[in-house]
Amino acid sequence: MGRLAVMDRDPLVRRASPDDAASIAALYADFLRTYGHEAEPAPILRFLIRMLAAEWTRFFVAVNAYGTFMGFAGCVLSYSAVDQSGALVINDFYVDVPFRRLGVGLKLCRAVERCAVELGATRIFLAADPDMEAALSLYRKAGFEVMPYRSMTRVLPDARDR
């Protein structure tokens, strides 16, 4: 493999800002598709601009030497009642198909971990589909343990109007 090919795949992982919204949006529809959701580009962009600017979120992006966005992680500030301290929740996690199995996901996990430590948090939470073998394998490698809980959600009445 040539040197340029290696550089092309070597990611810089950094915290994202609202200026990155369009680049993350370019990957976001594919991310949602992994959950069987189809979404239009314009609302995704508006949503990401809001999320990236929110005080209670932390987004990270992996960008290669050519400025190509390889993947992202979106987190929410939370807390752990058990630890009585802050926690981060990984809400979104995606690596674009051409850049998989190159360690990008692991680097994003480490960036989330560093951020949690800087925030004084003691724990990182996430929920994953039990069929998402790649994600479960990555998270195990990054040090996550499976918990005996079920994830639940309630779609609120008139949610689509908000």
Q: At what angle do helices 21-33 and 41-53 cross, to 10 degrees?
A: 120
106 is an interface residue for ligand COA by CB under 6 A = yes
Nearest by Cα to 92 from 19, 151, 29: 29
Q: Which stretch binds ligand COA (CB under 6 A): 40-48, 99-107, 117-125, 143-151?
A: 99-107
- In whole angstroms, the minimum distance from the beta carbon of 84 to ligand COA comes to 27
Q: Which stretch binds ligand COA (CB under 6 A): 12-20, 44-52, 98-106, 148-156?
A: 98-106
| Residues of this chain, 9-68, that bind ligand COA according to CB under 6 A | 34
C-alpha to C-alpha distances, 117 to 88, 126, 152, nearest whole angstrom: 10, 16, 28
- What's the token pair of residue 66? 């050519």
Binding test (CB under 6 A) with ligand COA, winner from 7, 46, 114, 133: 133
Binding site for ligand COA (CB under 6 A): 34, 93-95, 100-106, 128, 132-135, 137-138, 141
